[in-house]
Amino acid sequence: MANIKQQQKRVKQDKKRRQANSSFKSSVKSALKSVNAAALEKNHDLALIKLSYAFKKLDKAAAKGVYHKNFVARHKSQLQLKVNALQ
């Protein structure tokens, strides 16, 4: 632990943010996996529902700065292509 008071506070803030970000990333990954699972089952209706939820999670992650906007755009595009291929 640092001796400087400001650095001690910074370490505590970083720890808190890292935990929040890892939790949010985990929920985003779960949403992406659910869309992929629905696509593998060839269930178009379920995939559309899961896709909208995944888009919401990805957009929120980009807004919070958890993920870069290009990462989000790439994943949204890939998921949309998978779901569109089910039709």
| pLDDT above 80 (res 72) | yes
**In this structure, what token pair is assigned to residue 55?**
């888009």
What total of structural domains would you count in the chain? 1
Domain contains 29: yes
Q: What is the CATH number of the domain that holds 40?
A: 1.20.58.110
| pLDDT above 90 (res 87) | no
At 7-55, the pLDDT tens digits run 999 999 999 999 999 999 999 999 999 999 999 999 999 999 999 999 9
Determine the pLDDT at residue 2. Answer: 80
CA dihedral angle for residue 54, residue 40, residue 84, residue 86, rounded to 10 degrees: -140
Domain contains 2: no
Q: Which domain holds residue 41?
A: 23-84
Q: Measured between alpha carbons, how far is residue 12 from residues 16, 20, 24, 43, 66 in Å?
A: 6, 13, 19, 45, 18
Domain contains 57: yes
CA 48 to chain centre: 17
Domain contains 67: yes
